[in-house]
Every structure is written in C-alpha cells, then in structure tokens.
Structure 1
C-alpha cells in the first residue's frame, strides 16, 4: 500500500493532522497580528481546517495547496459549507514546485517540511512566498535534548534540536519571533486518534487485501511512539519574521 493511502486512512478523519489545536495555532500566530484582508498560504493544507479557522478568526483570505486529491476535494467541500469558498481557494498539486504569482502576508506549513526535503529547504521556500515584512509559521518535530540514543536518531534523521532549528532560521535571514510547544496530552490525543482511525478501518474492511499493510503500520507507529517517540520527540510551532527583528514569545 502506498504511503499516501495509509496516511489517508490514519489521518483523513482528523480536522488538524498534527498534535495541536485551533487555539494553539491562534496563539502561535498572535504576534503576527493578522487582520482582515491579509493573505495567507497554507502549504500541505490537508482538509483546509487551518485556513477556515484563520478566515473566521481574523478575516483573512487564503490559498491552500496539497498533493492529495481526496483531501483537496474535502477541503473545498468544508470551505463551501462554512461559506468561505469565496475567500479561500484550494490548489491540488505538488507544493515543491509552486511559485505564487504574488507574495503573501503569512505562510503556514504544519508538519509538511518533507515537501522540500527538510526544515532548511522548507524555510527557504516559504520565505520566498511572503513579502519582506511577512511571517512564516512552521510546525514540526524536534529532539527534546541533544543526547539522543544513536538508534533513535537513525530512525528519524530529519529531526533537529531546537538550537539547530534556530541556526537554520538565522541562516535564512529570518528572526524567530515565537514558539508554542505541544504538550504530552496533545501528542497522546493525536496518536490515539490515528490508532482509532486505523482500528475502525480494519473493523470495517474484514476482507480487504490491504489489511496486513494497515495492521503493520498501526503496530509500527505504536511501537515508535511508546518505545521512544513520546520520551524523546517534541512538536512545536515556530513563528518566523521574514524580514526583521521581533520580540520572541515562548509558550508550552
């Protein structure tokens, strides 16, 4: 089974496909001072939940881009049902090659830095999408400390320490303006929701030839999370000022 197919089964029912919440996202973006008329792009937008939230909370207009056709269709339906389709558009395609026709006030990328192969390239790409005084909100995993067992580090070579993230931010001429970290309860709710989605699918598809792939996936992610992920890996949203110094705010 393709990875994207597994992910659709595991996370397709989640409103936000990361260990965070609507209030957490608003808290992370608060220093950006979003206001009506601001333009926001969400890269790896999933079912459009974040853009819908920002449109209702701040009056922004926006663009979401995602490679997964099923999620794009669902995002369009969700936005239409909420009366937001005239303010938020969804593009279905590979964000790695996306070049906007004009810059945005804010670029959001939660749990999708893999689109460009990692954090460093993601920051560089997102910086090009916002204007000089724009903002970038990037959410991703980080090592809780630098003394990570080599066997764990080999499993997830793309994860950085927060100090490494800070250095990459400065190398891209951005300023770290704020951070909101997810707690263990956020992680537990997120992981549990994925496990439950997989179990529902298995129960609903007793004769499906893909059952073994889903079963193996569920076993693996549970072992990863409870074996070392929960202890060693954190998840946070970092707000970057693309073109100037800003007071840093820390939460979580």
Structure 2
C-alpha cells in the first residue's frame, strides 16, 4: 500500500492529524503573533483545520500546500465551511516544488517534516518561504531525553531531542518564542483514532489484498506505542522568531 493511501485511511478523518488540540493550535498562533492581515503558508496542510482555526481566531489569510488530492478537497471544504474561502486556499502539489511569488509572514509545518526529511531540512525550507522578519511554526516529534533504547531510536533516525531542536533554531538565527507540547491524553487520543480507523477499514475490507499488511501495521504501531513511544517519544509545536542577538 502506498504511503499516501495509508495516511488517508489512518488519519484522513481526523480534524487535526497530530497529537494536539485546537486550543494548543491557537496558543501557537498567538505566540507567533498572528493577526489580521498576516499571510501564512502551511506545507502539508492536511484537511486545512489549522489554517481555518487561525483564520477564524486571528483573521489571517494564506495558502495550504498538500499533495493528497482527497485532503486537498477536504481543505477546500473546510475553508468554505468556515467562511474563509476568500482568504484561504489550497494548492494540491508536492511542497518541495513550491516557490512563492512573494514571501509570507509566517511559514508552518505541523506534523509534516517527513516531506523534507526531518526538522532541520524543514526549517531550512520554511525559511525560504518567509521574509527576513517572518516567523516559523514547526510541529514535530522529538525525544524526551537522549537515553532512548537504541532498538527504538533506530526506527526514527530523523528525530531530534528538544535540546537539539533549540540548537538548530539558534544556528538558523532564530529564537524559540514558545513550545506547546502534547500531553499524554493528546497522544492517547491521536493513537487511538488511528487504531480505530484501521479496525474500521479491516471490518469493511475482508477480501482486500492489503488486509494482511494493515493487520501487521496495526500490530506494529501498537507495539511501538505501548513498548516505547509512550515513554520516550514527545511531540511539540515550536514557534520560532528572528533572533535578537
């Protein structure tokens, strides 16, 4: 099964495809200084919920970039339903190929660092989308400490510790203005939604050729979560602003 199809099955129905909440998304927007007239671009925007929340609360305008056609359609519907179709739009394409006509005020990647190949590469990419005073918001996995069992750490070679993320931001000339972290209940809700989506798919696809793959996927992600992830894996939104040093 292709990765895009797997994501659509397991997370496509989630309003926010990450272990966070609307309240925390709004807190990140506030820390980023979003307001009426702020132009925002989000790479890997999923179904558009984050941009819609910021559009309703802070009056932003902007663009979501998403490669999955089903998600693009949902994002467009999300913007229309929120009454933001005149201020928010989606472009259905690979974010790695996008080049803006003019720089944005804020560039965002929430749970989509895999597009560029990790936090550092994502930060570099987003910096290319904003002007010199632009802000960056990245939501990403990180290790809770540097003492992660090697057999688990090898499964996630691109994941950094929080301290490494801080250093990466500083090396890019940025200060970290805020960190909004996922709580245990956020993780449980997010992971449980994925399991339920897989179980629902299995229940309605008894003869599908990818059935064995999906059963194996469910077992693997549950083993990872209960065996290691709950204890060692963190997730947070990092709000970064131009440095004052």
Task: Please indicate the TM-score interval, normalised by the length of the shorter structure.
Answer: over 0.9
TM-score norm. by structure 1 comes to: 0.94
Task: Name the counterpart of 1:82.
Answer: 82
SS of corresponding position for 1:84: coil
Task: Name the counterpart of 1:129.
Answer: 129
TM-score norm. by structure 2 comes to: 0.97
**CA offset digits 1:98-125 (Å, max 9, x no partner):** 1111111111111111111111111111
Deviation at 1:152, TM superposition (A): 1.3
Task: Name the counterpart of 1:190.
Answer: 190
SS of corresponding position for 1:170: helix
Stretches of structure 1 that go unaligned for 5 or more consecutive residues are 247-252
Deviation at 1:88, TM superposition (A): 0.5
RMSD over aligned CA atoms reads 1.2
Task: Name the counterpart of 2:222.
Answer: 222
* Count of equivalent residues: 245
Task: Name the counterpart of 1:98.
Answer: 98
SS of corresponding position for 2:131: strand
Deviation at 1:205, TM superposition (A): 1.7
Report the Cα distance in structure 2 between the residues aligned to 1:236 and 1:82, rounded to whole angstroms: 26
Task: Name the counterpart of 1:249.
Answer: none
**CA offset digits 1:135-169 (Å, max 9, x no partner):** 11101111101111111111111111111111111
Stretches of structure 2 that go unaligned for 5 or more consecutive residues are none
SS of corresponding position for 2:107: strand
Deviation at 1:214, TM superposition (A): 1.4
Q: Does 1:169 align with 2:164?
A: no
Moved more, 208-217 or 35-44: 208-217
